[in-house]
Structure 1
Protein backbone atom coordinates (compact mmCIF):
# COMPACT_ATOMS: atom_id res chain seq x y z
CA UNK A 1 0.00 0.00 0.00
CA UNK A 2 2.91 2.35 0.59
CA UNK A 3 4.00 2.02 -3.03
CA UNK A 4 0.62 3.32 -4.26
CA UNK A 5 0.91 6.33 -1.98
CA UNK A 6 4.23 7.31 -3.57
CA UNK A 7 2.85 7.67 -7.11
CA UNK A 8 2.58 11.35 -7.91
CA UNK A 9 1.78 13.35 -11.00
CA UNK A 10 -0.54 12.74 -13.88
CA UNK A 11 -1.18 9.05 -14.54
CA UNK A 12 -3.44 9.81 -17.54
CA UNK A 13 -0.53 9.47 -19.94
CA UNK A 14 0.05 5.90 -18.81
CA UNK A 15 -3.63 5.09 -19.17
CA UNK A 16 -3.83 6.56 -22.64
CA UNK A 17 -0.66 4.77 -23.69
CA UNK A 18 -2.18 1.47 -22.65
CA UNK A 19 -5.50 2.26 -24.31
CA UNK A 20 -3.77 3.17 -27.58
CA UNK A 21 -2.67 -0.45 -27.96
CA UNK A 22 -6.21 -1.46 -28.97
CA UNK A 23 -6.57 0.90 -31.95
CA UNK A 24 -3.01 0.10 -33.01
CA UNK A 25 -3.70 -3.62 -33.14
CA UNK A 26 -7.04 -3.00 -34.84
CA UNK A 27 -5.46 -0.85 -37.53
CA UNK A 28 -2.77 -3.42 -38.18
CA UNK A 29 -5.26 -6.24 -38.60
CA UNK A 30 -7.64 -4.20 -40.74
CA UNK A 31 -4.99 -2.84 -43.11
CA UNK A 32 -3.35 -6.25 -43.40
CA UNK A 33 -6.63 -7.93 -44.31
CA UNK A 34 -7.49 -5.20 -46.82
CA UNK A 35 -4.13 -5.63 -48.53
CA UNK A 36 -4.63 -9.38 -48.54
CA UNK A 37 -8.04 -8.91 -50.16
CA UNK A 38 -6.58 -6.56 -52.77
CA UNK A 39 -3.90 -9.10 -53.60
CA UNK A 40 -6.44 -11.90 -53.98
CA UNK A 41 -8.96 -9.89 -56.03
CA UNK A 42 -7.35 -6.87 -57.72
CA UNK A 43 -10.64 -5.88 -59.36
CA UNK A 44 -12.13 -5.17 -55.92
CA UNK A 45 -9.21 -2.98 -54.82
CA UNK A 46 -11.16 0.28 -55.13
CA UNK A 47 -14.02 -0.85 -52.92
CA UNK A 48 -11.68 -2.39 -50.37
CA UNK A 49 -9.55 0.76 -50.24
CA UNK A 50 -12.56 3.02 -49.65
CA UNK A 51 -13.92 0.79 -46.89
CA UNK A 52 -10.47 0.55 -45.33
CA UNK A 53 -10.08 4.34 -45.16
CA UNK A 54 -13.54 4.70 -43.59
CA UNK A 55 -12.56 2.14 -40.96
CA UNK A 56 -9.22 3.86 -40.33
CA UNK A 57 -11.01 7.17 -39.76
CA UNK A 58 -13.43 5.61 -37.28
CA UNK A 59 -10.69 3.82 -35.34
CA UNK A 60 -8.58 6.98 -35.15
CA UNK A 61 -11.61 8.96 -33.97
CA UNK A 62 -12.06 6.51 -31.11
CA UNK A 63 -8.39 6.85 -30.17
CA UNK A 64 -8.71 10.64 -30.13
CA UNK A 65 -11.82 10.40 -27.97
CA UNK A 66 -9.76 8.34 -25.53
CA UNK A 67 -7.12 11.02 -25.15
CA UNK A 68 -9.77 13.75 -24.78
CA UNK A 69 -11.55 11.74 -22.11
CA UNK A 70 -8.26 11.33 -20.28
CA UNK A 71 -7.82 15.09 -20.10
CA UNK A 72 -11.45 15.82 -19.22
CA UNK A 73 -11.77 13.39 -16.33
CA UNK A 74 -8.73 14.47 -14.34
Structure 2
Protein backbone atom coordinates (compact mmCIF):
# COMPACT_ATOMS: atom_id res chain seq x y z
CA UNK A 1 0.00 0.00 0.00
CA UNK A 2 1.44 3.36 -1.00
CA UNK A 3 1.65 6.33 1.33
CA UNK A 4 -1.12 8.07 -0.60
CA UNK A 5 -3.45 5.08 -0.29
CA UNK A 6 -2.64 4.81 3.41
CA UNK A 7 -3.45 8.49 3.93
CA UNK A 8 -6.75 8.14 2.04
CA UNK A 9 -7.68 5.16 4.22
CA UNK A 10 -6.82 7.03 7.42
CA UNK A 11 -8.93 10.00 6.35
CA UNK A 12 -11.85 7.74 5.42
CA UNK A 13 -11.56 5.89 8.73
CA UNK A 14 -11.45 9.16 10.66
CA UNK A 15 -14.56 10.60 9.09
CA UNK A 16 -16.31 7.21 8.89
CA UNK A 17 -18.93 8.53 6.47
CA UNK A 18 -19.69 8.13 2.79
CA UNK A 19 -18.47 10.85 0.46
CA UNK A 20 -20.49 14.00 0.96
CA UNK A 21 -22.14 12.69 4.14
CA UNK A 22 -21.88 13.93 7.67
CA UNK A 23 -20.22 11.90 10.38
CA UNK A 24 -22.64 9.41 11.92
CA UNK A 25 -22.00 10.88 15.39
CA UNK A 26 -23.11 14.33 14.20
CA UNK A 27 -26.19 13.29 12.23
CA UNK A 28 -28.60 13.15 15.21
CA UNK A 29 -27.35 16.51 16.49
CA UNK A 30 -27.68 18.21 13.10
CA UNK A 31 -31.11 16.71 12.43
CA UNK A 32 -32.47 17.56 15.89
CA UNK A 33 -31.25 21.16 15.70
CA UNK A 34 -31.85 21.78 11.99
CA UNK A 35 -34.24 24.72 12.50
CA UNK A 36 -31.97 26.29 15.12
CA UNK A 37 -28.94 26.02 12.81
CA UNK A 38 -30.84 27.53 9.87
CA UNK A 39 -32.20 30.35 12.06
CA UNK A 40 -28.74 31.14 13.40
CA UNK A 41 -27.22 31.23 9.91
CA UNK A 42 -30.10 33.37 8.63
CA UNK A 43 -29.56 35.88 11.45
CA UNK A 44 -25.88 36.14 10.54
CA UNK A 45 -26.71 36.58 6.85
CA UNK A 46 -29.24 39.34 7.59
CA UNK A 47 -26.60 41.56 9.23
CA UNK A 48 -24.05 41.30 6.41
CA UNK A 49 -23.42 44.84 5.11
CA UNK A 50 -22.83 43.95 1.47
CA UNK A 51 -25.98 43.08 -0.57
CA UNK A 52 -23.97 40.88 -2.91
CA UNK A 53 -22.54 38.96 0.04
CA UNK A 54 -26.07 38.52 1.45
CA UNK A 55 -27.32 37.18 -1.87
CA UNK A 56 -24.43 34.72 -2.15
CA UNK A 57 -24.83 33.59 1.45
CA UNK A 58 -28.58 33.03 0.95
CA UNK A 59 -27.81 30.89 -2.09
CA UNK A 60 -25.38 28.80 -0.04
CA UNK A 61 -27.94 28.55 2.78
CA UNK A 62 -30.53 27.27 0.30
CA UNK A 63 -28.07 24.54 -0.72
CA UNK A 64 -27.36 23.74 2.95
CA UNK A 65 -31.09 23.40 3.71
CA UNK A 66 -31.50 20.92 0.87
CA UNK A 67 -28.44 18.99 2.00
CA UNK A 68 -29.75 18.79 5.57
CA UNK A 69 -33.14 17.63 4.28
CA UNK A 70 -31.46 14.82 2.37
CA UNK A 71 -29.26 13.81 5.30
CA UNK A 72 -32.13 13.88 7.77
CA UNK A 73 -34.62 12.13 5.50
CA UNK A 74 -37.05 15.04 5.22
CA UNK A 75 -37.42 14.77 1.43
Q: Of the two, which has the highest radius of gyration?
A: 1
Q: TM-score, normalised by structure 1?
A: 0.48
The structure in which a higher percent of residues are helix is: 1
